[in-house]
């Protein structure tokens, strides 16, 4: 997939890649710590000093293989991980008041070099095993699970409802961090292992699931989260009231959407920030984030907040939209009310504080619902608050036929958490199938006891 010229110009790289000399100089600053807190802080436990040491010795391929051994999506994670709160946040150089090692940019340097040289992934086992595993969803969790299984010799098939793989890596993460084409390029490594992909194939009903249960030995649920919560206020059905996820997906993978002069974004998480920044870069002069709580309550990371301010996004705290006003020309404003936050955190509208915030477009990013319909159709799979309950060490659910990982288990975290979950589940499935080898089960197999 080619990135459009317009999008490439409007969304240049947030953290431009290292030149070779600068990368080697940065790699040589690493203290090669024995207990490497950076590795401990990475959910996929990439051996950071090892891969950095290989860059210092000009062994780029070896460095990339060290990364890929722990994290098959090492390229995208190098661009999208919130490293300030993960590996770089844990770097010991902070203790000496020195700048932490730029781990993410070094990781990207190694992975870019690997891809540019046409690198491919190797198998961990030469054995070809007959057992088949269906991974539902082609996001980071399923990709990591399928890659792990295929590397161990199992047959992995990924079912994806959309036309392209990658999940939110392709359709959601801001373009200046990870362009869709870079996400797709990385997935070619996984396809190269022999993982089969079936696109535009939504697994919707219990009947679909039962068919998969018959055809496959194990099922992995990597379906992420569902639709965005709607605002639920009068006027929210106007055509210029847009779901942030659809807005981002559209500019990343289709024609850039038209943006208005003034845009209001409702919500203050990372998705709201991404949508607000995108609206600015797509040409909106005024973009404001409206949030019902205060600055310190926002769920966006501090560096995302700083970035949005640099992009010129305005913030309105303790305001709640109550109605969207429009006329025959389109949206004119959002009626808002000011909010008081009680000591116990309870929000209360301040009487008589209503005001109109002028804008012509509204983007909402107030969280996503779980895919309850699908998850409830997975017989015998325990859910808690809409999330799949798993054994954290293996990804196993309460039905031995099903494993799960990523956002549908953790409720929505980071790409690297989904990769870690997917890999753990891949290992978990491989262990179970090696202990009790099994060609596809027939209806009435032991799993049915959990139905």
Ligand X SMILES: Cc1cc2nc3c(=O)[nH]c(=O)nc-3n(C[C@H](O)[C@H](O)[C@H](O)COP(=O)(O)OP(=O)(O)OC[C@H]3O[C@@H](n4cnc5c(N)ncnc54)[C@H](O)[C@@H]3O)c2cc1C
Of 27 and 80, which has the nearer Cβ to ligand X?
Answer: 80
**Binding of residue 432 to ligand X (CB under 6 A):** no
- Binding ligand X (rule: CB under 6 A), the pick from 43, 140, 256, 426 is 140
Question: Which of helix, strand or coil describes residue 72?
Answer: coil
Rounded to a whole number of angstroms, the distance between the first and last alpha carbons of the chain is: 42
Q: Measured between alpha carbons, how far is 438 from 451 in angstroms, rounded to an integer? A: 19
Q: What angle do CA 361, 312, 168 make, to 5 degrees?
A: 65
The two three-digit tokens of residue 138, written as one number? 């082609």
Q: Measured between alpha carbons, how far is 171 from 10 in angstroms, rounded to an integer? A: 17
Name the percent of the chain in helix, strand, coil, to the closest 5: 40, 15, 45
Residue pair 228/275 in contact (Cβ under 8 Å)? The answer is no
Of 95 and 126, which has the nearer Cβ to ligand SF4?
Answer: 95
**Binding of residue 423 to ligand X (CB under 6 A):** no
The entry of ligand X, ligand SF4, none near residue 363 (CB within 5 to 8 angstroms by kind) is none
Residue pair 309/333 in contact (Cβ under 8 Å)? The answer is no
Rounded least distance, CB 88 to ligand SF4, Å: 8
The entry of ligand SF4, ligand X, none near residue 30 (CB within 5 to 8 angstroms by kind) is ligand SF4
Residues lying near ligand SF4 in the complex (CB under 6 A):
30-33, 36-38, 48-49, 91-93, 101, 103
- Residue span binding ligand X (CB under 6 A) among the ranges 41-49, 56-64, 98-106, 197-205: 197-205
Strand partners, 290: 266, 316
**Binding of residue 175 to ligand X (CB under 6 A):** no
The two three-digit tokens of residue 41, written as one number? 């802080």
Of 31 and 445, which has the nearer Cβ to ligand SF4?
Answer: 31
Rounded least distance, CB 243 to ligand X, Å: 11
- Residues 6 or more apart whose Cβ sits within 8 Å of residue 146: 133, 135, 156, 157, 158, 190, 195, 220, 422, 426
The half-sphere exposure of 422 on its side-chain side, counting CA atoms within 13 A, is 37
Rounded least distance, CB 204 to ligand X, Å: 6
Of 49 and 179, which has the nearer Cβ to ligand SF4?
Answer: 49
Rounded least distance, CB 50 to ligand SF4, Å: 9
Rounded least distance, CB 301 to ligand X, Å: 9
Rounded least distance, CB 139 to ligand X, Å: 2
- Which residues would be at the binding site for ligand X (CB under 6 A)? 80-81, 136-142, 159-162, 167-169, 172-173, 177, 202-204, 222-224, 245, 248, 270-271, 274, 371, 374, 406-407, 412-416, 418
């Amino acid at each position: 997939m080619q990135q459009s010229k317009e999008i490439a110009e409007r969304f240049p790289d947030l953290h431009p890649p290292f030149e070779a000399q600068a990368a080697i100089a940065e790699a040589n600053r690493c203290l090669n710590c024995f207990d490497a807190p950076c590795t401990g802080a990475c959910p996929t436990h990439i051996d950071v000093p090892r891969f950095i040491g290989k860059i210092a010795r000009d062994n780029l391929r070896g460095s990339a293989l060290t990364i890929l051994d722990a994290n098959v999506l090492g390229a995208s994670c190098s661009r999208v991980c919130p490293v300030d709160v993960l590996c770089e946040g844990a770097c010991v150089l902070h203790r000496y008041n020195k700048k932490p090692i730029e781990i993410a940019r070094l990781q990207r340097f190694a992975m870019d070099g690997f891809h540019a040289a046409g690198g491919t992934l190797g198998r961990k086992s030469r054995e070809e095993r007959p057992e088949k595993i269906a991974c539902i969803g082609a996001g980071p969790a399923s990709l990591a699970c399928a890659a792990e299984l295929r590397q161990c010799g199992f047959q992995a098939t990924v079912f994806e409802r959309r036309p392209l793989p990658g999940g939110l890596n392709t359709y959601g993460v801001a373009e200046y961090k990870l362009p869709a084409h870079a996400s797709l390029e990385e997935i070619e490594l996984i396809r190269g292992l022999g993982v089969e992909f079936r696109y535009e194939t939504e697994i919707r009903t219990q009947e679909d699931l039962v068919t998969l249960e018959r055809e496959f030995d194990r099922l992995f649920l990597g379906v992420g989260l569902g639709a965005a919560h709607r605002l639920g206020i009068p006027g929210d059905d106007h055509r210029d009231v847009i779901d942030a996820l659809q807005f981002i997906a559209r500019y990343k993978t289709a024609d850039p959407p038209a943006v208005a002069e003034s845009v209001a974004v409702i919500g203050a998480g990372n998705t709201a920030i991404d949508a607000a920044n995108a609206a600015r870069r797509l040409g909106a002069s005024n973009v404001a984030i409206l949030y019902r709580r205060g600055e310190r309550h926002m769920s966006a990371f501090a560096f995302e907040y700083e970035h949005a301010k640099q992009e010129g996004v305005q913030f309105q705290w303790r305001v709640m939209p109550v109605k969207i006003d429009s006329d025959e020309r389109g949206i004119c404003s959002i009626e808002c009310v000011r909010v008081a936050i009680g000591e116990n955190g309870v929000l209360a509208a301040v009487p008589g504080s209503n005001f109109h915030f002028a804008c012509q477009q509204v983007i909402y990013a107030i969280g996503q619902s779980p895919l309850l319909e699908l998850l409830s159709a997975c017989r015998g799979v325990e859910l808690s608050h809409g999330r799949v309950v798993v054994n954290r060490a293996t990804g196993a659910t309460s039905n031995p036929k099903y494993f799960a990982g990523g956002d549908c288990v953790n409720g929505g975290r980071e790409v690297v958490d989904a990769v870690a979950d997917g890999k753990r589940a891949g290992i978990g499935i491989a262990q179970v199938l090696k202990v009790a080898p099994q060609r596809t089960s027939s209806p009435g197999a032991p799993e049915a006891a959990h139905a």
